[in-house]
């Protein structure tokens, strides 16, 4: 059997389960997920290495009608990650109607990857409809959902899945593998993401706050790892800053208004304490030695709509 390898863009409206599916396929958390839309803000590439194939799964921000400059940047990012992929997984949730948002995405895919012909073969690369969250429907409802989606898109394939219950994940995996061209392994076996360690840590911190704060969290949270300081490079001259020889990971957390700072910090800094505790093990693993997070909450007024500020935050 020839080795296969390539890139799969995972697209869909906000909150349809893109990041959750990628984590489930890769088998560990590389992308953050949450119940609120616009969770993903970067096109994170997860790497799935098998005996016979290597897939790079490109997680994308949910495609939506942008209301802020950040929203616009997120959509642009999807455009970028859609260029030069070998297949597209278009996610549609089983628990929602197919709507105008899906039509917009389909139109966009057709303009770039359609051959101008009708039907299943009318695509330049395989476009696979992945029907997510099937644990939320009974069998009968699922069947009519599948028929509805089949008629909606004339997709190359259609496959139902529940990432949460691990139902049909193997089938999704093998469909994606079949969609890949023959090609060599591109990354070493142990590599599961293409992100820089700083970026992965920043994402994990943002994810931990999303979980910790639940509905209180301002949507306008941005996290940047400013520097990673190893003990032998620490020139602060003050031994009391770092008595334990741990790697210091200096992090800025930006909100848009002064009033949001106490929400992030919590009573007696409880949220900061919880987030650090939750991330101790994953951060140690990413850095490769004992590390400590130093979290600084800052205000950057109106950053979601300010080009300069967005640039500074990496958008």
Ligand X SMILES: Nc1nc2c(ncn2[C@@H]2O[C@H](COP(=O)(O)OP(=O)(O)OP(=O)(O)O)[C@@H](O)[C@H]2O)c(=O)[nH]1
What does 37 interact with, of ligand X, Mg ion, none (CB < 5 to 8 A by kind)?
ligand X
Per CB under 5 A, the list member of 29, 34, 40, 200 interacting with Mg ion is 40
Per CB under 6 A, the list member of 50, 77, 142, 164 interacting with ligand X is 164
CA dihedral 75, 79, 81, 86 (to 10 degrees): 140
Per CB under 6 A, the list member of 39, 81, 260, 304 interacting with ligand X is 39
**H-helix or E-strand spanning residue 298:** strand 291-299
The two tokens of residue 263 are: 């929400």
| 46: contact with ligand X by CB under 6 A | no
The two tokens of residue 259 are: 């009033």
| 162: contact with ligand X by CB under 6 A | yes
| 255: contact with ligand X by CB under 6 A | no
| 156: contact with ligand X by CB under 6 A | no
- Which DSSP state fits 120? T
| 39: contact with Mg ion by CB under 5 A | yes
| 34: contact with Mg ion by CB under 5 A | no
Per CB under 6 A, the list member of 4, 42, 45, 133 interacting with ligand X is 133
Q: What are phi and psi of 232, to 5 degrees?
A: -75, -10
40 near 31, Cβ under 8 Å? Answer: yes
Q: Is 118 helix (H, G, I), strand (E, B) or coil?
A: coil
Nearer to Mg ion, 169 or 228 (CB): 169
Q: How many CA atoms lie within 13 A of 192 on its CB side?
A: 12
Per CB under 6 A, the list member of 5, 7, 15, 44 interacting with ligand X is 15
| Count of Cβ atoms closer than 10 Å to residue 121 Cβ | 9
Residue with the two structure tokens 């970026």: 199
The two tokens of residue 231 are: 């003990």
Residues 190-219 that bind ligand X (CB under 6 A): none
- Give residues in contact with Mg ion (CB under 5 A): 18-19, 39-40
- Give residues in contact with ligand X (CB under 6 A): 12, 14-20, 33-35, 37-40, 61-62, 132-133, 135-136, 162-164
């Amino acid at each position: 059997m020839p080795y296969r390898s390539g890139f799969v863009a995972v697209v869909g409206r906000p909150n349809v389960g893109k990041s959750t599916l990628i984590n489930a396929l890769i088998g560990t958390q590389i992308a953050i997920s949450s119940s609120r839309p616009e969770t993903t803000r970067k096109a994170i590439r997860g790497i799935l290495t098998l005996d016979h194939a290597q897939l790079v799964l490109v997680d994308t921000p949910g495609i939506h009608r942008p209301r802020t400059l950040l929203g616009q940047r997120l959509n642009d990012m999807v455009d970028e990650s859609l260029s030069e992929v070998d297949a597209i997984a278009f996610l549609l949730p089983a628990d929602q109607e197919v709507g105008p948002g899906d039509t917009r995405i389909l139109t966009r895919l057709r303009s770039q990857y359609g051959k101008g012909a009708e039907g299943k073969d009318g695509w330049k690369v395989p476009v696979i409809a992945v029907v997510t969250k099937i644990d939320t429907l009974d069998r009968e409802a699922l069947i009519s959902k599948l028929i509805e989606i089949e008629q909606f898109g004339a997709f190359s394939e259609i496959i139902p899945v529940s990432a949460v219950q691990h139902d049909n994940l193997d089938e999704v995996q093998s469909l994606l593998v079949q969609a890949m061209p023959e090609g060599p392994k591109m990354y070493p076996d142990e590599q599961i993401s293409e992100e820089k360690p700083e970026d992965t840590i920043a994402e994990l911190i943002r994810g931990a706050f999303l979980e910790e704060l639940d509905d209180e969290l301002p949507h306008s949270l941005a996290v940047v790892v400013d520097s990673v300081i190893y003990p032998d490079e620490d020139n602060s001259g003050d031994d009391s800053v770092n008595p334990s020889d741990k790697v210091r990971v200096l992090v800025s957390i930006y909100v848009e208004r002064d009033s949001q700072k106490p929400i992030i910090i919590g009573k007696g800094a409880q949220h900061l304490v919880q987030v650090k505790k939750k991330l101790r093990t994953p951060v140690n693993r990413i850095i490769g030695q004992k590390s400590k997070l130093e979290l600084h909450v800052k205000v950057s007024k109106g950053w979601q709509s300010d080009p300069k500020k967005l640039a500074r935050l990496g958008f």
